[in-house]
Structure 1
Amino acid sequence: MQLLTDGLVIQAADIGGLNGGDMLFAIASFVALLALLKKFAWGPLMNKMEERENYIANEIDTAEKNRADAEKAAQQANEQLKATRQEAQQIIEDAKKAATQQEKAIIDAANEAAVRLKKSAEEDIAREKEKAVEALQAQVATLSVQIATKVIEKEISAEDQEQLISEYIKEIGEER
């Protein structure tokens, strides 16, 4: 169909008419393009997307596993810390008990030493007292002899005098 406008002849098919061969070529080109896209673009793209999806899923699983391991490790660390604190508390209590026992032992040892020193001092005092009594007895005997000698003066012999002294010392020793 030809149209005539202002002296120009335009064919109807050129202006917007549908040509079956062109449509068939367009459809065939589109299908070929889809097949090529599927083979060379869509398939590899989908494979890459699937690989990426698997990689991300593995990473998520690994992260979950690591998180669970970290929680378990934190729990174990807390339990170990608690056990360590209990051990430290027990060590402190044992040290306090040992210090108390050592303090008691030191006090007991000091008391025993004081008792020994006191007993030793009492024994020393008793010995010194005996020595003083013996010295006093000797002085008394000497003084008695001197007094008796002055009273009796030449009437007693030296032998009689020694015998009187010995008897007197014996009597004083018996009284003690």
Structure 2
Amino acid sequence: MSITGTLIIQIIVFLILVGFTMKFVWPPIATALDERARRIAEGLAAADKAKAELQAADRKVEQELAKTRTETAGLLADAERRAQAIVEEAKGRATEEANKIIAAARAEAEQQTVKAREALREQVAALAVKGAEQILRKEVNPSVHADLLQRLATEL
């Protein structure tokens, strides 16, 4: 055989092989490649969508955290104001109570002073009566001279 005949036969066999491959082998491969490309594109789209959703969720979480921080700061400020008000109220009540106790102590001291003065007056009156008895050298009857002793106690 000649080289030209062999070459022509090889070309014909190659063209038959190419035709068979194009008709029977290539379409399933192309379909599989297209399906794989479609799945990859869907996966990338889903990943982009998930990334966007994650960013949106992050923004929402940050907003909620900021809102919660603001509310917490407000609650803390309210609690501090309330605590300060309670302290001031307690101080006011304590001051009032202290003033009442001081007033009661002053009244008690005043009563004790009055009692002491009256006791002193009675003692002075008794001493005056004894002094008068000794001056007059006779007994002075307190029931008879009650009016006189009363005026003496008042003057003292």
- The structure with the largest alpha-carbon Rg is 1
Number of the residue aligned with 1:138: 122
CA positional deviation for 1:172: 5.2
| Deviations, residues 70-92 of structure 1 (Å, cap 9, x unaligned) | 00111011101111110121122
CA positional deviation for 1:129: 1.0
Higher strand proportion (structure 1 or 2): 1
Which whole-Å CA distance do the structure 2 matches of 1:40 and 1:173 have between them? 145
Which whole-Å CA distance do the structure 1 matches of 2:20 and 2:75 have between them? 79
Number of the residue aligned with 2:143: 162
Which whole-Å CA distance do the structure 2 matches of 1:32 and 1:83 have between them? 74
Query: Cα gap change, 1:91/1:74 in structure 2, threshold over 3 Å: closer, same or farther?
Result: same
Q: What letter matches 2:119 in structure 1?
A: A
Query: Cα gap change, 1:42/1:169 in structure 2, threshold over 3 Å: closer, same or farther?
Result: farther
Q: What letter matches 1:171 in structure 2?
A: R
Number of the residue aligned with 2:66: 82
- Which of 3, 21, 27 is the aligned partner of 1:43? 27
CA contact (8 A) 2:142 2:149 kept: no
CA positional deviation for 1:173: 6.3
Unaligned runs of at least 5 residues, structure 1: 1-12
Indicate whether 1:118 and 2:102 are aligned.
yes
Runs of 4+ in 1 over 4 A off after TM superposition: 25-28, 172-176
CA positional deviation for 1:67: 0.5
Number of the residue aligned with 1:67: 51
| Deviations, residues 123-144 of structure 1 (Å, cap 9, x unaligned) | 1111101111110111012112
CA contact (8 A) 1:141 1:169 kept: yes
Q: What letter matches 2:99 in structure 1?
A: V
Aligned residues: 156
Q: What letter matches 1:131 in structure 2?
A: K
Query: RCO greater where, 1 or 2, for CA within 8 Å and sep 6 or more?
Result: 2
TM-score (norm 1): 0.76
Q: Any idea what SS the aligned residue of 1:162 has?
A: coil
Q: What letter matches 2:40 in structure 1?
A: I
Number of the residue aligned with 2:134: 150
Indicate whether 1:100 and 2:84 are aligned.
yes
| Deviations, residues 13-68 of structure 1 (Å, cap 9, x unaligned) | 83x5x55x973x55543343123212432111101111111111110111011101
CA contact (8 A) 2:125 2:153 kept: no
